[in-house]
Structure 1
Amino acid sequence: MTAMATTAPTGRVTHDEPRARFGDLLAAEWLKMWSLRSTPWLYAISALAVIAFNAGTAYDHYKYWYQYDEQGRESFVANGSPLMDAFTANSAMVLVLAVAAIGAVSITGEYGSGLIRTTFTAVPARRRLMAAKVLVLAAVATVFGALVALASFASTQAILSGRDASVSLGHPGALRLVVASALLAPVAALAGLAIGTVIRHTGGSVVGCVVVLLLLPMVLSDRRHLTAVLQHMLPFSAWERLSVSDLHVSDLYPWTVSGAWTVYALWASLACVVTVFAADRRDQ
């Protein structure tokens, strides 16, 4: 009895390539992020710069405390000055610029080196791949932001405690400030990633991050209704609203804390959508 051998038609693949599991994509993006020696250094330098800005401001108040009169010392805490020292606007700008640049470079570096072609060839499911990149970047940036915000709050209040002018996390507005400052990092990082995915060039992406995230809030005036509304739609302006006491909110065109949280959520969500679909619909 002759055995019949079955052969696959010429040119047909006899087995399918196993689809990459999403956990594998997350692990690959994690390794890819930390494979560059510059990544931990960028995070470390950024953290030190932000904390130093805040600690320096608190130390100025500690050093020149004698220049305040009795009324000024008594109203220091009531006016929310310890919270202003805990995370200053200058340090927030440094944080936004640093993490947005890191987010942008995490994708433009792959386009510049050509690694993205190899990545897309190995994983044709671009949406899944970019979704993994988004999740890894968001997780790292969130942890980074939380550590920096807590370290800034702890260091500044430790300095001010020498003048009995510190506050705790239970002080009205303190926890909101820490959370808003911590979440500013992932929002800016995801925005930088989205800008980098669209522009695909490191220099242009960094400039785009500066213009969108830092210059626009400065250019748009809050003295007119239209520009005030546009300004309120930006993440840095949302952080400013969340970081100040309700007593310091402008009476001209005020907006709510819930509105500022909504801006955070919308920017993060929009950045994720842009990142995932822009890479899927454009050639590499």
Structure 2
Amino acid sequence: MSTHQPPMPQAPAAAPDWQAAPGGPYPGYTSPIPIVRTHLGHALASEWTKIKSVRSTMWTLGVFVVLVVGIGLLAGALVNANSDSETLSGENPLSFGFFGLLLGSICVITLGVLTTASEYGTGMIRTTMTACPSRARVLAAKSIVFFAVAFVFTLATSGFVAMVQASMLEGTGARTPTGGEWFKATVGISLYMALLGLLSLLIGSVIRHSAGAITIMIGVLLAPLVLALFMATESLNKVREWLFEYSIPNQLSVFYSNSLSESGPSGWDPLWIILGLTAAVYAGAYALLRSRDV
């Protein structure tokens, strides 16, 4: 009668090289891919890749450059052709760049909103938050990348228009701009425009809807002036003056030493106003981002 022989005990197979020794961060497994602790630089690289690869960036910034340069140079040419030395006597030649930047601000607002709100529309925000669970880091990276892009483009276009206008109107009676006026008409206005776009980005993060956030920001840009025009009664005189003085178009004009009103913000006041408003909205956007699901 045959007897059944039990299987002989086998020695355990050697663990592959990629498995971990006891005591590691993940006992029993170590990834063959090097583990790198992520930081803000990775989030900045991700946001830079996104903002430079989407078509909306190319179109909005392209239209921005066309409006600022085209309208700025056209305004300078018209003034040069239709004004004499007495009309332009003592006039700041850089002030005519205001018209192009006022329309160009709509492009900056649009791009700022799309930087955040479009990700909620497409669902890309889920991938973003999965890759970078730190929501503070995501919001900071988006803000830094957008602010840098908006500032550089505004500085390049406004500086080019300012130089061409100054040379175009030289000898027409317009005064030579001072160093401070040059700085405000290039760097100052660029900081203001970048902060205005950053404010739009934060509103897009709060609203999470591109069309709605763009509508709100265009209303912020134009509504105070429109409302002021219809406040013709004497009882609303102070309200009308306040809306006019603190409207965004009037604040833009302050950087060209050509304020649309005699009172209200002056010097660098518009920059501090938009900076304080943006900081307050940033805090609110961050609080909502942490408390809401994506």
Same fold (TM over 0.5): yes
SS at match of 2:202: helix
User: 1:196, 1:141 → 2: CA distance?
Assistant: 16
Residue 99 and residue 62 in structure 1: after superposition, are their counterparts in 2 closer, same or farther (change >3 A)?
same
Residue 19 and residue 275 in structure 1: after superposition, are their counterparts in 2 closer, same or farther (change >3 A)?
farther
1:251-277 C-alpha deviation (Å, 9 max, x unpaired): 4x4443243232132133234334433
Q: Give, in angstroms, the shift of residue 180 of structure 1.
A: 3.0
* Residue type of the alignment partner of 2:273: V
Which blocks of at least 5 consecutive residues in structure 2 are unaligned? 1-11, 13-20
Q: Give, in angstroms, the shift of residue 151 of structure 1.
A: 1.1
Q: Give, in angstroms, the shift of residue 109 of structure 1.
A: 1.2
Residue 233 and residue 160 in structure 1: after superposition, are their counterparts in 2 closer, same or farther (change >3 A)?
closer
The question of 1:91 aligning with 2:100 is answered: yes
User: 1:266, 1:235 → 2: CA distance?
Assistant: 14
* Identity in percent: 22
The question of 1:138 aligning with 2:147 is answered: yes
The question of 1:256 aligning with 2:256 is answered: no
Q: Give, in angstroms, the shift of residue 7 of structure 1.
A: 8.1
Which position in structure 1 is the counterpart of 2:46?
28
Which position in structure 1 is the counterpart of 2:75?
57
The question of 1:212 aligning with 2:220 is answered: yes
Residue 283 and residue 234 in structure 1: after superposition, are their counterparts in 2 closer, same or farther (change >3 A)?
farther
Q: Give, in angstroms, the shift of residue 165 of structure 1.
A: 4.4
User: 1:13, 1:234 → 2: CA distance?
Assistant: 63
Residue 129 and residue 149 in structure 1: after superposition, are their counterparts in 2 closer, same or farther (change >3 A)?
same
Residue 217 and residue 277 in structure 1: after superposition, are their counterparts in 2 closer, same or farther (change >3 A)?
farther
Structure with bigger RCO (C-alpha 8 Å, 6+ apart): 1
Residue 55 and residue 217 in structure 1: after superposition, are their counterparts in 2 closer, same or farther (change >3 A)?
same
Which position in structure 1 is the counterpart of 2:6?
none
SS at match of 1:257: coil
* Residue type of the alignment partner of 2:119: E
Equivalent residues, number: 267
Greater shift, 137-146 or 12-21, is seen at 12-21
User: 1:48, 1:249 → 2: CA distance?
Assistant: 25
Which position in structure 2 is the counterpart of 1:110?
119
Q: Give, in angstroms, the shift of residue 197 of structure 1.
A: 0.9
Greater shift, 200-209 or 210-219, is seen at 210-219
Which position in structure 2 is the counterpart of 1:241?
254
Out of 105, 124, 129, the position equivalent to 1:120 is 129
User: 2:209, 2:28 → 1: CA distance?
Assistant: 38
TM-score (norm 1): 0.80
SS at match of 1:78: coil
Which position in structure 2 is the counterpart of 1:177?
185
The question of 1:279 aligning with 2:293 is answered: no
Greater shift, 138-147 or 231-240, is seen at 231-240
Which position in structure 2 is the counterpart of 1:268?
278
Out of 86, 94, 103, the position equivalent to 1:74 is 86
1:199-225 C-alpha deviation (Å, 9 max, x unpaired): 111111111110012322442479833
1:173-200 C-alpha deviation (Å, 9 max, x unpaired): 3432333321232112111101111111
Which position in structure 2 is the counterpart of 1:147?
156
Query: Which of the pair has more CA radius of gyration?
Result: 2
User: 2:245, 2:145 → 1: CA distance?
Assistant: 28
Greater shift, 265-274 or 191-200, is seen at 265-274
User: 1:273, 1:232 → 2: CA distance?
Assistant: 26
Greater shift, 49-58 or 13-22, is seen at 13-22
Which position in structure 2 is the counterpart of 1:193?
201
Alpha-carbon contact 1:168-1:174 (below 8 Å) kept: no
* Residue type of the alignment partner of 1:242: F
Which blocks of at least 5 consecutive residues in structure 1 are unaligned? none
Alpha-carbon contact 2:109-2:197 (below 8 Å) kept: yes
Residue 280 and residue 98 in structure 1: after superposition, are their counterparts in 2 closer, same or farther (change >3 A)?
same
SS at match of 1:105: helix
